[in-house]
């Protein structure tokens, strides 16, 4: 065999051997490295499943809940931003307003709940970022944002008397709403007035924006009255809800009722049923008599300005028939402008002549500086809520809604004005 033939034969044998080796490496038989490599592929899949299972086990069991729901645009200013967790404890709660200001809140002792310390602002966007952990220390996170109800979509009731005050036996609980109330029944149901005296207290709607509460007779002296407003979320009119949620209390002082007799031109002051003083007065002139009826002192001013133009008493030039810049010891009895006040400009009229434009005048001095004058004494011994009764005047009885004077309506009519 020539050298060239021998080389061709060796090349052919080498090619056959290479083919056998390639086929052997790819055949995947039952023994040797082929089985090991096949097994290795199986191990890879099993490890991935284990990884997935382990990852699933690492999710925290803590479940965070936030109210209101994310994206709410008409949220309560009182009951919004409540955070709670189950299967864990809260570790961090951050609440901020749109301007970045932090909202202070309190975490419960068991670290299960959180809420703001004070009412929120209306028409304001807020964000909440909450973190909690479970028993294994694994953390969970939750975020939410919402906007509180706007002034256009909410109503409030301005009330009198003030929380913590001591008032006279005639002081009603009076609420003036800043928007007309169409749903009077639900709104009145959200308001509770009670007294430690046990007297029945009933509300009366004078109009769509004023609701007063009182008992049949004057409050019992020494009792405590509570006003509870549970109006948050109560619909007062379509698309308009309440935002108030609070309780206020006030005390009833001694029973003082003063009776002005326009005919005898005297006022008799009684405390707890006993006469303590009789004072000469000057009531409304024949052309401008004082209203008759039961009136409640609603405001007190040591000195105030009284201008006739503000209550319809004007000269031909349109200016007030009177303009006294320093009326002493003035106490309001009606919305329309009836006062009982000191008078330093009238001489010799007290107990002898009725000369005013409808007010009740008491002898006094300019500057309100003499405590011995009748005006000063009555001012110093009167509370908001004390009753002043006027009788024997030539005018009509004052309207129940002219001031805090619902006592001029009989009990059956009063109760008929309740929506509940």
Active centre residues (catalytic) = 341, 359
Are the C-beta atoms of 89 and 111 separated by less than 8 Å?
yes
Tell me, rounded to whole angstroms, the distance of Cα 354 from its chain centroid: 46
* Residue 194, CA atoms < 13 Å, CB-side half-sphere: 6
d(CA 229, CA 191): 5
CA distances from 225 to 48, 212, 213, 408 (A): 71, 14, 11, 21
CA distances from 283 to 88, 328, 333, 376 (A): 74, 16, 13, 17
Give me the DSSP letters along 48-100.
HHHHHHHHHHTS---EEEEES-TT-SSB-SSS--EEEEESSEEEEEEEEETTS
Are the C-beta atoms of 83 and 114 separated by less than 8 Å?
yes
Give the Cα-Cα-Cα angle 147, 152, 156 (nearest 5 degrees).
95
Give the Cα-Cα-Cα angle 148, 153, 155 (nearest 5 degrees).
100
d(CA 241, CA 181): 10
- Taken as a whole, the chain contains a residue count of 420
d(CA 278, CA 267): 6
């Amino acid at each position: 065999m020539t050298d060239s033939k021998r080389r061709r034969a060796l090349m052919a044998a080498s090619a056959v051997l290479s083919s056998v080796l390639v086929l052997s490496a790819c055949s995947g038989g039952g023994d040797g490295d082929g089985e090991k490599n096949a097994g290795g592929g199986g191990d890879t899949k099993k490890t991935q499943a284990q990884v997935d299972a382990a990852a699933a086990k690492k999710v925290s069991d803590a479940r965070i809940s936030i109210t209101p729901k994310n994206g709410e645009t008409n949220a309560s200013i009182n009951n919004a931003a409540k955070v709670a967790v189950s299967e864990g404890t809260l570790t961090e709660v951050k609440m901020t307003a749109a301007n970045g200001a932090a909202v202070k809140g309190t975490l419960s002792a068991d670290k299960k709940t959180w809420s703001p310390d004070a009412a929120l602002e209306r028409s304001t966007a807020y964000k909440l970022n909450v973190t909690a952990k479970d028993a294994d220390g694994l953390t969970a996170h939750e975020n939410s944002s919402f906007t509180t109800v706007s002034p256009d979509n909410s109503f409030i009731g301005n009330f009198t008397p003030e929380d913590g005050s001591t008032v006279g036996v005639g002081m009603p609980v009076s609420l003036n709403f800043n928007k007309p109330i169409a749903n009077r029944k639900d709104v009145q149901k959200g308001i509770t007035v009670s007294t430690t005296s046990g007297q029945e207290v009933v509300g009366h709607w004078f109009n769509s924006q004023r609701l007063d509460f009182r008992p049949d007779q004057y409050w019992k002296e020494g009792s405590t009255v509570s006003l509870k407003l549970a109006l948050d979320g109560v619909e007062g009119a379509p698309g308009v809800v309440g935002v108030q949620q609070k309780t206020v209390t006030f005390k009833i002082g001694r029973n003082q009722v003063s009776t002005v007799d326009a005919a005898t031109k005297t006022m008799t002051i009684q405390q707890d049923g006993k006469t303590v003083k009789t004072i000469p007065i000057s009531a409304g002139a024949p052309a401008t008599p004082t209203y008759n009826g039961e009136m409640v002192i609603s405001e007190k001013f040591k000195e105030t300005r009284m201008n006739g133009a503000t209550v319809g008493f004007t000269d031909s030039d349109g200016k007030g028939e009177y303009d006294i810049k320093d009326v002493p010891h003035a106490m309001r009895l009606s919305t329309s402008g009836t006062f009982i006040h000191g008078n330093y400009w009238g001489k010799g009229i007290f107990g002898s002549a009725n000369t005013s434009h409808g007010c009740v005048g008491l002898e006094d001095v300019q500057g309100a500086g003499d405590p011995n004058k009748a005006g000063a004494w009555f001012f110093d011994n009167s509370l908001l809520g004390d009753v002043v009764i006027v009788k024997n005047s030539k005018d009509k009885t004052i309207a129940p809604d002219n001031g805090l004077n619902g006592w001029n309506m009989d009990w059956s009519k009063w109760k008929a004005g309740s929506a509940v």
